[in-house]
Homo-oligomer: A and B are copies of this chain.
């Protein structure tokens, strides 16, 4: 496994008024994950990156963490540290943000 954790953050942008994750907020999330992971020396054994539509538009902003395939919804910038610390560092998914999939 190249990455112990591989975080994909939706940055898809659909035309208004469709509900979706959105490019602007998505890229802010990507940068926040990257910075937080760098700060904890999780790079390069883990990786965060932008991705296209995760098919969770109505529940976005959406994120999925592999290899375990945990999906998160309504992810805000203020949630990034908790996901990184709890899930990526301590392997405990953040249940309050987890999507039933």
Chain A positions within 8 Å of B, measured between CB atoms, are 1-3, 6, 8, 11, 30, 44, 47, 49-55, 64, 66-69, 71, 101
Contacts and interface: CB of A to CB of B under 8 A. Distances in A.
A66 B6 contact: yes
Contact of A67 (B8, B11, B52, B67): B67
- The SS class assigned to the A binding surface is loop
Ranked 7 nearest A-B pairs via Cβ: A2-B101, A50-B52, A66-B66, A51-B51, A1-B69, A67-B67, A49-B52
A53 B52 CA distance: 12
A68 B67 contact: yes
A23 to B, nearest CB: 12
B66 A69 contact: yes
Contacts of A67: 66-69
